[in-house]
A and B are shown apart, each in its own frame.
Chain A
């Protein structure tokens, strides 16, 4: 069969030592990972971490400076034409021809593939059947993203690439898009997505590679990444006192069972191995400096905490 993925023993993407340099700037610095058949794999990291460059190398539309990658068993730098028949792609902020309607755009994309699917059915799948005659510039941001997803799914791809699929979307559109992505996995497809949203990565992804400054700094399932932090909770609270200078960071760090403490003005964050010990420590310290604690929030640790503990800076700096 010509138009089938190569036999790859359950590995749909294999990146080995990818490096991409723009002049002296290294956007991607020695990145290697594998994606298994049927999983949603996430590249998580802040803007400018190199996520888009990695995904575009794997899509065969950008050449790596060094390193190789196999996608569905084909080498990206040699067989990109073959790969393009088998993959579905949604770019970060996809733009379409302004003079073609939604339906005409999907008809055009469908014609590119030997197994192109019915454009009207695709519109139904992304809940845009009533927008068939609408030009893309008259669609809302969420509708445009769904149209882009329909174009990405039109060849029934074995592997779907999604670059920041929900950036700039309202919550309703995000959930709708998440549903479509989960349905795709349910059909046995593999998905590679990039995101800078912790909740999105945590909810959707089977495995995550955390990227910072062009490097993978951690790679595992969301649950194991969080478990590796070895903390019970993250506590956020506000101190009410005369001056924020009276709050001493080293005193917070000295509270028993504390993993990491942070202070921003009157607001403090404590990552702790023991929620009870942290709270009694905080209350004692508040009494000591004559402050009152307000708006205390206890959260289970998230990927945000993982990123913070790995890099020392927050994800959305």
Chain B
């Protein structure tokens, strides 16, 4: 289609010429990465101090403890519950893992539990601690369910990537940038409607679907480039790793950007003028900025906030990106996040398409 190709190329040109927009959205994320990268250090990778209490003292529990001790990213101290708990209370431990006295017995009944205590006072390490412990227990569980007894615990079961706060921040800032850059698409639509550009287009054979699709694709391309730039900075300056697949990461960026675009288009369909559109965008983005888990983990938020946190698309963008980049997790670990984002995108775009208006009246 000639008209689609030309509209898309016009859309890309317009976006590219809007330097202010590209620089501010990218700049905010970059500033955060540099600020947090330097504040919390980049060269010293973080070692997790974990206390392990083995009350079972069986062959299985001992092999778990010795496996954990071999991991270089973990610093393990062992002792009785009271000894370790005292250390934990002093703040010397980031986490405490308790293998209960009936662990082996429970395992035989396929109902074994490990108790984990987190130190919640240090937000810069909390995200990492939770991620690491989660991965250890996940690996154990997987092994346990596959072959209940005897359990052969391999090195791999304990592999935790070395991790620092910057590893947490980079995916969070990509999520934030996707939000800032794409919510603005709605404001652009409102400006075009206000100044009559859309009214003039309404008198041509151009369809709203062609226009919106071109706008969507050009902004997705920009989002991919901006995300790639942030990751490049993270990798080259702060030695951040992507332990997962690049394809999965790209898919997350695309779905995340699509979700934010859809929300932007909905705002654009309803807002009467530029100020309203910007106001609504701000009202939506501000709580998401903090509750979406970009700067600090939200796993330990008060229960009443949980439904809100889970409702926010940014939460799912950040979660999926961290699962992929930090943990190199399997698809099942973030498939729900991607499904939520896909649902947001589909519903949002369908809604925005039906509410699209060329002129004010």
Chain A interface (Cβ < 8 Å from any Cβ of B): 22, 59-62, 81, 84-85, 87, 89, 91, 93-97, 99-100, 104, 107-113, 116, 151, 161
Contact = CB atoms under 8 A, between A and B. Distances in A.
Given A81-B205, A94-B200, A99 B13 contact: yes
Contacts of B113: none
B358 interface: yes
Contacts of A110: 6
Contacts of B333: none
A9 B125 CA distance: 81
Given A108-B6, A111-B5, 18 more contacts: A61-B199, A61-B358, A81-B205, A84-B203, A84-B204, A84-B205, A87-B203, A89-B204, A95-B197, A97-B197, A99-B18, A100-B10, A104-B13, A107-B10, A108-B10, A109-B204, A111-B2, A111-B3
B156 interface: no
Contacts of A62: 359, 361
A141 B18 CA distance: 24
Select the residue from B14, B196, B204 with max chain A CB neighbours within 10 A: B204
Nearest to A135: B17
A104 B203 contact: no
Contacts of A91: 196, 199-200, 203
Given A60-B203, A61-B359, A111 B7 contact: yes
| Interface size of B as a range | 20 to 34
Select the residue from A85, A97, A104 with max chain B CB neighbours within 10 A: A97
A80 B302 CA distance: 55
A254 B195 CA distance: 53
Interface string B190-210: 001001110110111110000
Given A97-B14, A104-B10, A112-B3, A85 B205 contact: yes
Closest 4 pairs (CB-CB, A-B): A111-B6, A99-B14, A89-B203, A99-B17
Contacts of B205: 81, 84-85, 112-113
Nearest to B3: A111
A13 B7 CA distance: 31
A135 to B, nearest CB: 9
A61 B202 contact: yes
B196 A95 contact: yes
A151 B200 CA distance: 10
Nearest to A63: B361
B2 A100 contact: no
Contacts of A116: 2
A96 B197 contact: yes
Contacts, number: 66
A65 B205 CA distance: 24
B173 to A, nearest CB: 27
Interface in B323-361: 358-359, 361
Interface string B62-81: 00000000000000000000
Contact of B203 (A59, A95, A96, A100): A59
Question: Is chain B's interface secondary structure helix, strand, loop, or mixed overall?
Answer: helix
A77 B17 CA distance: 38
Nearest to A154: B204
Contacts of B203: 59-61, 84, 87, 89, 91, 161
Contact of B6 (A84, A85, A107): A107
B192 to A, nearest CB: 8
Contacts of B10: 97, 100, 104, 107-108
B225 to A, nearest CB: 18
A81 B204 CA distance: 8
A148 B301 CA distance: 56
Contacts of A95: 195-197, 200
A61 B17 CA distance: 30
A110 B192 CA distance: 20
11 contacts: A62-B361, A84-B203, A91-B203, A95-B195, A99-B14, A100-B10, A104-B10, A104-B13, A108-B10, A110-B6, A116-B2
B186 to A, nearest CB: 17
Contacts of B2: 111, 116
B8 to A, nearest CB: 10
Contacts of A84: 203-205
Contacts of B204: 84, 89, 109, 112-113
Contacts of B197: 95-97
A98 to B, nearest CB: 8
Nearest to A101: B13
A143 B301 CA distance: 60
Contacts of A108: 6-7, 10
B270 to A, nearest CB: 20
Contacts of A104: 10, 13
Contacts of B5: 111
Contacts of B195: 95
Nearest to A86: B205
Nearest to A92: B196
Interface string B1-37: 0110111001001100110000000000000000000
Contacts of A112: 3, 204-206
A93 B197 CA distance: 10
A146 to B, nearest CB: 15
Contacts of A151: 200
A193 B205 CA distance: 21
A151 B14 CA distance: 19
Contacts of A59: 203
A11 to B, nearest CB: 21
Contacts of B6: 107-108, 110-111
Contacts of A111: 2-3, 5-7
Contacts of A93: 196
B196 A94 contact: yes
A108 B9 CA distance: 9
